[in-house]
Amino acid sequence: MSNKKAKTGRGGWWFLTLVLIAHGLLGLMNPAATTQSLTFFTHVMVQILPILGLVFLLLFVTNFLLKPKWIGRYLGSDSGTRGWIAAVFGGMLSLGPIYPWYAMLAELRQKGMRDALVAAFLYSRAVKLPLLPLMIHYFGTAYTLVLCFYLIIFSIISGIVIEKVTGSDYV
């Protein structure tokens, strides 16, 4: 992994300016649709901001408390079974939309987390613990347990495959 800094230009600011101009022009042409769009945007942001706040808090705590040596020991090449268990259960316990977790996983990966464990974390998010009672109600206990077992096993298999494909062979 390289430590090069990405070049930052003014492209993002130009894009933001163009989007704001487009929304302003559309607001002049169709104020009702613009109001509806802004209401929807506000509703979505109210739902997303607490989750983003939690992820940023977790990033802060991760940067403050977790040192690369610790991450290397528990989630790196020497993690062994303990790392797999942490990744799978961490994925199952993670809540909210997936995209805020990408930032935290990227940060952990930069500090030494294995690619296989990142993949296992992301795959094991398919097991939703709060929804298990509902799933048992609709599909039965046997089906739910077998499905969860397969999801966990395939999260580990996908991690192994990812590590083989990326060439960071720690398995």
Task: For residue 7, give the DSSP letter.
Answer: P
Q: Which of 89, 151, 95, 98 minimizes the C-alpha distance to 126?
A: 151
Residue 171: is its pLDDT beyond 90? no
Q: What is the mean pLDDT of residues 56-68?
A: 73
pLDDT at 120: 94
pTM listed for this prediction:
0.61
- CA dist 75 and 94 (Å) reads 17
pLDDT at 138: 92
Per-residue pLDDT tens over the stretch 8-22: 678 888 999 999 999
Residue 169: is its pLDDT beyond 70? no
- CA dist 6 and 28 (Å) reads 38
- CA dist 128 and 138 (Å) reads 15
Q: Is 24 or 75 the better-scoring residue by pLDDT?
A: 24
- CA dist 162 and 165 (Å) reads 5
Q: Highest mean pLDDT range out of 76-90, 99-113, 123-137?
A: 123-137
Whole-number CA gyration radius for the chain: 21
How much is the mean pLDDT over the chain? 85
Residue with token string 């077992």: 149
Contact status, residue 119 vs residue 83, Cβ threshold 8 Å: no
What lies within 8 Å, CB to CB, of 66 at 6+ separation is 108, 111
Helical H runs in 30-79?
31-65, 68-75
pLDDT at 136: 92
